[in-house]
Structure 1
Amino acid sequence: MAGTSVPLKIFMVKASTDAEKVQLPEKTRNSRVLVLGGTGRVGGSTATALSNLCPDLQIIVAGRNREKGAAMVAKLRGNADFVRVDIDDKKSLETTLSEVDLVVHAAGPFQQTDNCTVLDAAIETKTAYIDVCDDTNYSWRAKSLKKKALAANIPAITTGGIYPGVSNVMAAELVRTAKSESEGKPKRLRFYYYTAGSGGAGPTILATSFLLLGEEVVAYSKGEKIRLKPYSGRLNVDFGKGIGKRDVYLLNLPEVRSAHELLGVPSVSARFGTAPFFWNWGMEAMTNLLPVEFLRDRSKVQQLVQLFDPWVRAIDGIAGERMSMRVDLECSDGRNTVGIFTHRRLSVSVGTATAAFALAVLEGSTQPGVWFPEEPEGIAIEARDVLLKRAAQGTINFVMNKPAWMVETDPKEVGLGIYF
């Protein structure tokens, strides 16, 4: 990883049953960390991971429901408390942020959100910031506040979850290593994601998935931006140990644009697939049968979520919540390297990944400003190795910079082949 000169280094992490404790610098060891959306699946998982990794941290669980908040606090070890926060109430939000050192914004969905209210409040109160945003427009709106964050001297990371987030850092390391070890130039980068069912992540993830079906997919082919239909372009991809081959489909995800612009890769795309297989059929059918206006209407999407959520939860009990992400980099000299990250439980892994970003900020790895995870100002190059190891705790398969031929099969195009 960072600093290595060994060709095609293979980086593997074995599963661990216990979280490895992190010793933070003296000045941040007892930091107060506010987790917005802390009573939800992603925020709750993040609060739990932070509490397990750093018992000295003071975790403030924020949400709207006191009963859920009290239940969450009771599960956490060490210093934890609950505070009721409405992120749409600017005054209340700023008052709460002024009393903490870092805010983790996990109160999604981020789709169709017009303002970066939490980041604005963090800048105003000079509070370090991370979000788990998975929306392209929101992430670049956050990025536009870079100068304000610099003036306030606060570090901020957008899209700092698992995917996007850890996947961005994996892509950055594949590109960095290729540039240092190969004469060819990075040519094509592809993100592949798989989650069984909803991944145990609850109705917010379900709402996000439905809202993404209403967004035209942006991908890049040989430097040109192309627009494609959501949940199209099916590929059969081998995710390796624990997952095997799965069908994945195009979605509009923020790491596509950030990787293209910040890592300088001409062709970039992202695909996602789920299980059981009929959920993929259902997503395709929704894209083909429902009007775009319907899928872009948050109130109507919430009605769909309420309708489907009981069925999803029931099937989740059978499907489990295994997740995997595979990042493929192709270079102009024929070099092809892969990163794979697989975990048995998305609901646990997403919290561990987000906590890894929070710890990086508390350790001083992030410069003032607003950054994507793949930017060295966001996660310093020398800190990427540590971040990936922390995020990969509990994985059943984590490999970096592995030659593509060592993964059982290459992706097989289904239908017309398109270069992106």
Structure 2
Amino acid sequence: MSKRVLILGGRGRVGSHVAADLAAHTDAEITITGRSHQHSKQIPDLGSHVQFIELNLEDRDKLTAVIRGLQTDSSDSNRNVVIHCAGPFHYRDGRVLETCINEGVNYVDVSDHPSFTRKAIAYREAAEAAGVTAIVNTGIFPGISNSMVRQSIEQLDTADTVHLSYVVAGSGGAGVTVMRTTFLGLQRPFQAWLNGQWQAVKPYSDREVVEFPAPYGRLGVYWFDVPEAFTIPSAFPVKTVITKFGTVPDFYNFLTWSVARWWHPRLLQTRAVIEFLSHVSHFMTDVTDRFSGIGVAIRVEVSGQKDGNPAKSHATLVHENTAIAAGAGTGSVTQMLLSGKLDKPGVWAIEEALPTALFTQAMHSRSVEIKQSLQMTA
């Protein structure tokens, strides 16, 4: 029997691209879930091995039954996988991961909010005891970006500073959930690892102009609260981790900066306000996407030493569709779990679990080009 994959939230923009990636690169039986059958016909035709079922994550009994059902009539049940794509993850608890651990099913997610990542990592010992491999933050950023950091660190003998910069054009091809994530990230100052200690940083502050590859060029980026801000210093002995984000067109940066700077924090902690901002922003990007595109660019710079001399390792990525790139990140990790190439019981951020050799092979197979260089700075 075929291996099985359950994609929670698989009808969304990112979830549907994860499904498409798996349909193209594996022979797994794929089940996509959503809250209603009403819109199931909107799912692209990915073949007879992809089906849709209705599932609300608040229905714990049905969630358990569906995950338990993955193990039925499966010849390789220990390699079946649940993929959690049902964000925004700021509002999610650990029930999906906990159920996977209880049922002995491997787990992957596209989580992008630090609060959820912390909740997930708290299950590490339980997952290890159950022999379940759970990989969090596997999309594009966090996700591919984290593996680019690991790749760059491994180019050096020692690493001191990691500077991660991201830019997304318009909506990035994603849905309103991504807009929610952006505004949820403005709610309060977050802790950044700077000079070997945790320091409070205001989101969307300290604009910095960074040189991205064509067609983006020099663009402004701002401090942003992402899981990488704490998972990277946990995984690697570095002194500083900088995480900055920006958008194209640039006037979106000004609007987001204005909200972060001038709006009262209590407003940004109100769900109705987040929904208003998210839907207005999504409406605006529907207009500007036709001019800006929906791509993504990532720039990684790691400073340290090589052969006893100061050096910098750089990695860059450009993709024309942010959601497709996220699908490639999550799809490739899931493919490795299905094949048994990746087996690391416990709960791990992607940079802790995925060896660089497997990462580069997966990106090459999906035509995701990552350019890397090493510069001696002495």
Note whether the superposition's TM-score is higher than 0.5. yes
Equivalence for 2:255: 282
Q: Which residue of the other structure, out of 252, 256, 268, is the alignment partner of 1:295?
A: 268
Aligned counterparts of 2:188 and 2:343: Cα–Cα separation in 1: 31
Q: Of residues 310, 326, 343 in structure 2, which corresponds to 1:334? A: 310
The residue number in structure 1 matching 2:40 is: 69
Cα distance in 1 for residues equivalent to 2:114 and 2:335: 24
Q: Tell me, in whole angstroms, the C-alpha distance in 1 between the residues paired with 2:164 and 2:139.
A: 15
Which whole-Å deviations, capped at 9, do the CAs of 1:146-197 have from their partners, x for residues lacking one?
1111122111001111110111111112112312xxxxx2110011001101
Match of 1:164 among 129, 134, 142: 142
Given the alignment, which residue of 334, 338, 346 partners 1:358?
334
* Count of equivalent residues: 364
* 1:94 matches 2:64: yes
Equivalent-residue separation in structure 2 for 1:234 and 1:162 (angstroms): 22
**Do the aligned partners of 1:328 and 1:337 also contact (CA within 8 Å) in 2?**
yes
Deviation of 1:308 (Å): 3.1
Flag the 1:386–1:78 CA change in 2: closer, same or farther, 3 A.
farther
Which residue is equivalent to 2:75? Answer: none
- Pair 1:315 & 2:288 matched: yes
The aligned amino acid for 1:358 is: T
Q: Aligned AA for 1:368?
A: P
Match of 2:195 in 1: 222
Whole-angstrom CA distance in 2 between matches of 1:347 and 1:270: 20
Instruction: Provide the residue aligned with 2:82 in structure 1.
Output: 103
Displacement of 1:405 after TM fit?
A: 8.6
- C-alpha displacement at 1:135, in angstroms? 1.1
For structure 2, list consecutive stretches of 5 or more residues without a partner in the other structure: 71-79
Alignment of 1:2-401 (within 5 A): 30-54=2-26, 56-72=27-43, 74-100=44-70, 101-113=80-92, 115-179=93-157, 185-332=158-305, 333-364=309-340, 365-375=342-352, 378-390=353-365, 393-395=366-368, 397-400=369-372
After TM superposition, give the deviation of residue 130 of structure 1 in Å: 0.3
Q: Secondary structure at the match of 2:146?
A: helix
Q: Match for 1:374: what amino acid?
A: E
Cα contact 1:188–1:329 (8 A) shared by 2: yes
Taking every aligned residue pair, what percent have the same amino acid on both sides? 27
Higher strand share: 2
Q: Distance in 2 between matches of 1:394 and 1:345?
A: 13
Question: Distance between the aligned counterparts of 1:305 and 1:341, measured in 2?
Answer: 27
Contact residue 33 and residue 52 of structure 2 kept, 8 A: yes
CA–CA distance in structure 2, aligned partners of residues 344 and 186 of structure 1: 31
Report Cα offsets for 1:206-226 as digits up to 9, x if no partner. 010011111313222111111
Hey, which bits of structure 1, 4+ residues long, moved more than 3 A? none
Matched letter for residue 111 of structure 1: H
Tell me the amino acid that sits aligned with residue 362 of structure 1: L
Number of the residue aligned with 2:74: none
Task: Give the Cα–Cα distance (whole angstroms) in 1 for the partners of residues 109 and 336 of structure 2.
Answer: 14
User: Any stretches of 5+ residues in structure 1 without a counterpart?
Assistant: 1-26, 180-184, 407-420
Relative to 1, partners in 2 of residues 1:91 and 1:214: Cα closer, same or farther, differing over 3 Å? same
The question of whether the paired residues in 1 share the 8 Å contact of 2:140 and 2:322 is answered with: no
**Deviations along 1:221-262, whole A, 9 cap, x unmatched?**
111111111101111111123321111110011112111111
Write the distance in 2 (CA, Å) between the matches of 1:280 and 1:293: 21
The aligned residue for residue 73 of structure 2 is none
SS of residue matched to 1:163: coil
Deviates more, 1:292-301 or 1:153-162: 292-301
Amino acid at match of 1:141: K
Residue 87 of structure 2 aligns with an amino acid whose one-letter code is: G
SS of the residue corresponding to residue 98 of structure 1 reads helix
Work out the CA distance in 1 between the residues paired with 2:358 and 2:172: 28
Instruction: Name the CA distance, whole Å, in 1 between partners of 2:57 and 2:316.
Output: 35
Offset at residue 306 of structure 1 (A): 2.6
Shift of 1:386: 2.0
Q: Give the Cα separation in 1 of the matches to 2:57 and 2:333.
A: 22
8 Å Cα contact 1:51-1:78 kept in structure 2 = no
What SS class does the counterpart of residue 45 from structure 1 fall into?
helix
Cα offset, 1:404, TM superposition: 5.1
Residues 199 and 345 in structure 1, CA contact (< 8 A), matched pair in contact too: yes
**AA aligned opposite 1:69:** S
* Contact map agreement 2:7 2:84 (CA 8 A) in 1: yes
Cα distance in 1 between the residues matched to 2:345 and 2:289? 41
> CA shift at 1:59, angstroms?
1.1
* Preserved CA contact (<8 Å) 1:90 1:121: no
Distance across 1 between alignment mates of 2:227 and 2:347? 15
